[in-house]
Structure 1
Amino acid sequence: MAELTLARAARPGRNPFVVQGSVYCDTCLAGFETSKTTYIAGAKVRVECRDRETQDLVYSKEGTTDSTGKYSMTVDEDHKDQICDCMLVSSPRKDFQSPSAGRDRARVILTNNNGHVSATRYANSMGFMAAQPMSGCTELLRLYQEYED
């Protein structure tokens, strides 16, 4: 039994992370999700981790959103001091090709040394903008302004 414990201590355990998020269509050109937001099935996303000092790419993995616009990717390694981001790669929709400024990437922390108990990491939603706002958006955005005052 002692040999088994020693063997386990000698090799690192495999505790994969699961990165989850969603990709949306900014149908109102609002810069954020609204009640008119739709989600993109088949959008390509990537997780990239870079060395904090040199900015060299250390890890990269691509995934695709499901029918609800959500993605889930497994990352096997602990990326300790590296900077990791989810980012938009492409949209399958011709009417949503331009990434929304400031919503085209999301930072994720992929280390066990940060107090998180769960191995699931949730990335902020990322979005593509419509070429033109859909009908009803002016009224919707006006409602948001009323609540802001």
Structure 2
Amino acid sequence: MAKLGLILALCVLLPALISASRPMSQPFLLQGRVYCDTCRAGFETSATTYIASAKVRVECKDREQKLLYSMEGTTDSTGTYSIRVNEDHGDETCDVVLVSSPLGNCKTADPGRDRARVVLTRYNGIVSDTRFANAMGFMKDEVMSGCTMLLQSLMEEED
């Protein structure tokens, strides 16, 4: 009986453990943008600028909020970051968070826009390997001139 249990473990459990520990052959490509809120509006406007060389980090945590995975990325000249994730994080909660801005007058993370939730699993019906995160932003220290008129025009369009 013990031999049967050992054979069963070798035939079933060992291959499952090996495949679970290997990196995925098709990694996820996580993409998003980082902006500077020049009007301190709390959202992207036509006056928004995108930040090159901003740092972001993807973090995946378990149910007890224990950090299980972390990887940093940097934005390109268009304010876009791309991070390759080689693991499936189906049972984890993953967020992209702002780390730092290279702009001296735009370093304060916008509360509520300082992180973006992402789904990093193949078991959800999404066919593509590319995952998109909502844009995240820093706020400029002082409101740029012309923002009052811009925000008023947005409010007029809303009516």
TM-score clears 0.5: yes
1:101 maps to amino acid: P
Residue of 19, 30, 35 corresponding to 1:11: 19
1:66 corresponds to which residue? 76
Is the aligned partner of 1:144 residue 2:144? no
Is the aligned partner of 1:86 residue 2:96? yes
Is the aligned partner of 1:41 residue 2:49? no
Q: Deviations over 1:65-95 (max 9, x none)?
A: 0011100000000001100000100000100
Is the aligned partner of 1:109 residue 2:109? no
Is the aligned partner of 1:25 residue 2:26? no
What are structure 1's unaligned runs of at least 5 residues? 1-7
Note the C-alpha offset of 1:148: 1.4
Counterpart Cα distance in 1 of 2:32 and 2:92: 20
1:104 maps to amino acid: D
Q: Spell out the pairing of 1:127-138 with structure 2 (5 A cutoff).
A: 127-138=137-148
Counterpart Cα distance in 2 of 1:81 and 1:147: 43
1:98 corresponds to which residue? 108
1:138 maps to amino acid: T
Structure ID, larger Rg? 2
Is the aligned partner of 1:50 residue 2:61? yes
Is the aligned partner of 1:121 residue 2:131? yes
Per the normalisation by structure 1, the TM-score is: 0.91
Q: Secondary structure at the match of 1:63?
A: strand
Per the normalisation by structure 2, the TM-score is: 0.85
2:58 maps to amino acid: V
How large is the RMSD of aligned CA atoms in angstroms?
1.5
Q: Secondary structure at the match of 1:11?
A: helix
Counterpart Cα distance in 1 of 2:35 and 2:86: 27
Note the C-alpha offset of 1:14: 2.1
Counterpart Cα distance in 1 of 2:135 and 2:101: 14
* Alignment: residue pair count: 141
Percent of aligned pairs with the same residue?
62
Q: Secondary structure at the match of 1:23?
A: strand
